[in-house]
């Protein structure tokens, strides 16, 4: 007799003849579970009543966002009709439309470095992580590094960028796109925000390490930076610097997210935010 968990695993892992429909069914299933979970938490911790109509409407919006973002094809007419119906829910949702976000591979001939930092204000523990991938989504190298005596998450982000760039220099990577979900760090590096005194030496180190490195930095949503985020959290438990050159050696949690990104699995952002992308050549003066 199989357990519920086994049945769910079989359902989500099964391959059906109609690939688009099968994928859409799984997305719908996961969206409904997510909305039930969110509604349950609001009911328990914010004294908001659970509403079936609210959950259905939010799930429908999520599935619509996925279909719009990833242009599912060969979807059955009844699914298209259902997704095309106008919502008649009158409940005040107090939320904006969700969006589907995923990590994008770099263009042909380029590599992409994703970096992230982690910081626990209660204990002062900090770490950084990063991964370099090619246009096929294959990992070339990755790292996780624990930090000591930091006082902010921004410092962890800056150190992670320094270590990621150092890894690229070490491995002979001379042209790379760098993504971080720290908007403040991008603002500082573009001189749109004043640099904190305790970050000055880190940014100077980044500049020194990138005199011959052709790189550009852009801000990316947190949902598209999950592999680096997972590496940064793993770094909190590392005694020192850890690096990998083969994806199969990555920690299990990181490996799972890495595979999801490689096959293009999206993450759902509960709300739509205005995402600003800024590019900067690191050769510029900081």
The 10s digit of each residue's pLDDT in 171-208 is: 998 889 999 999 988 888 777 777 777 788 888 888 77
DSSP codes joined into one string, 109-127: T-EEEEEEEEE-TTT--EE
**pLDDT score of 68:** 65
Higher pLDDT, 115 or 32: 115
Above 70 in pLDDT, residue 82?
no
92: which 2 tokens? 């005040």
Q: Which fold has domain 111-281?
A: Nucleotidyltransferase; domain 5 (3.30.420)
**pLDDT score of 4:** 65
The residues of the chain that CATH labels 3.30.420.10 are 111-281
Q: Provide the mean pLDDT of the chain.
A: 79
**pLDDT score of 271:** 54
The 10s digit of each residue's pLDDT in 269-286 is: 665 433 333 344 444 444
Dihedral sign from CA coordinates of 216, 220, 225, 228: positive
First to last CA, the chain: 63
């Amino acid at each position: 007799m199989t357990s519920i968990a086994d049945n769910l695993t079989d359902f989500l892992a099964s391959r059906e003849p109609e690939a688009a429909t099968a994928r859409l069914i799984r997305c719908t299933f996961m969206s409904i579970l997510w909305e039930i979970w969110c509604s349950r938490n609001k009911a328990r911790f914010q004294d908001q009543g659970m509403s079936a109509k609210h959950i259905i409407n939010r799930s429908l919006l999520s599935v619509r966002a996925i279909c719009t973002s990833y242009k599912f094809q060969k979807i059955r007419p009844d699914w298209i009709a259902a997704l095309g119906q106008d919502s008649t829910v009158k409940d005040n949702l107090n939320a904006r439309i969700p969006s589907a976000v995923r990590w994008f591979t770099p263009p042909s001939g380029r590599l992409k470095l994703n970096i992230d930092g982690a910081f626990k204000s209660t204990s002062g523990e900090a770490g950084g992580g990063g991964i370099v991938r090619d246009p096929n989504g294959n990992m070339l190298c990755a790292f996780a590094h624990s930090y000591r005596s930091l006082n902010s998450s921004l410092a962890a982000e800056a150190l992670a960028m320094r270590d990621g760039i150092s890894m690229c220099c070490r491995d002979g990577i001379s042209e790379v796109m760098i993504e971080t979900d720290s908007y403040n760090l991008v603002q500082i590096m573009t001189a749109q925000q004043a640099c904190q005194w305790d970050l000055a030496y880190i940014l100077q180190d980044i500049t020194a390490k990138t005199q011959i490195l052709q790189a550009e930095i852009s801000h990316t949503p947190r949902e598209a930076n999950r592999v680096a985020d997972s590496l940064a959290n793993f770094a909190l438990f590392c005694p020192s610097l850890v690096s990998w050159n083969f994806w199969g050696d990555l920690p299990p949690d990181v490996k799972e997210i890495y595979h999801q990104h490689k096959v293009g699995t999206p993450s759902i952002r509960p709300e739509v935010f205005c995402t600003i992308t800024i590019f900067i050549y690191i050769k510029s003066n900081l």
